[in-house]
Each structure stands twice: as C-alpha cells, then as structure tokens.
Amino acid sequence: MDRLAISPLAAWLERLEKNELAYQFSPSTNQAVFYPRVIAPGSGAADLEWRTSAGFGTVYATTVVHQQDGATYNVALIDMDEGFRLMSRVEDVPPTAVRIGQRVRFRTHRPGGDEPPIPVFFPAEAAP
C-alpha cells in the first residue's frame, strides 16, 4: 500500500475547516464510509474517494446529558442523506426538543483555542 500524503483524519479536518462535511465512498462496495479510514470496512477495499455531503440528515437517536452543574446538552446520531451515520449534537433548540426523525442540517462549530472544528447540526426548517 502506498504511503498517504496526509492522514484520512487530517484530510477530513481540512474539509471541515472549509465548512464542508466530507465523507469517503467506496466504488467497489457502493457504500459511504464514515469515520475517515485508509481502507473500506468489511471489504478491505483501498478505493476510497472523498465526497462532500449536501449537509442534510435525519436524527436517528438522541439523548439528553445532564451535567452536575445543571447544564444540559443533547447527543444525537445523525443519518446523513448520503448513507453514513455520525454522532454529533443538534443546536438552536432545547436539548429535550430534539426528536427522532427530525430533519437537520450541518454546520461547522469552531470551539476555539487548539480545539479542532466539529460538525454540529440545527433543525432543517430553521435553515435560511
């Protein structure tokens, strides 16, 4: 196997910095692949190519985390329209208002400091 010029994670983060939700696709298995990898899971195919998601998905599962200080936030599994699932959170609504089946849209959250950007979501009906 050829050495990679850049790791799959670094390539994904570069795209996220550009407000793009990237994922990989394996033409030989005809499947979307996420979290970024060197080879396709299951098949071991090394034909992964980068694609950019349109940014729309559906909440597959959600839970509310209650912190000791009283703050709450949600953790959600999002099924993207392109066929991959990722863990994130839904913002701009109370954590208890996030619902399974809710349509959401991607945006990049930049925590600041040395922290890398992360993908988060907001209700699709709130999209401009």
Residue 43 pLDDT > 90, yes or no? no
The mean per-residue pLDDT over the stretch 20-33 comes to 94
Provide the pLDDT for residue 4: 64
Beta strands (DSSP E) in 13-117 are 22-26, 31-33, 49-52, 56-66, 72-80, 85-88, 103-109
Provide the pLDDT for residue 1: 43
Quick one: DSSP state of residue 15? H
Tokens 């209650």, located at residue: 66
Are 66 and 122 within one domain? yes
Are 72 and 22 within one domain? no
- For residues 95 and 72, is the Cβ–Cβ distance under 8 A? yes
Residue 102 pLDDT > 50, yes or no? yes
The mean per-residue pLDDT over the stretch 51-69 comes to 95
Does residue 1 form part of some domain? no
Does residue 2 form part of some domain? no
* pTM of the full structure: 0.86
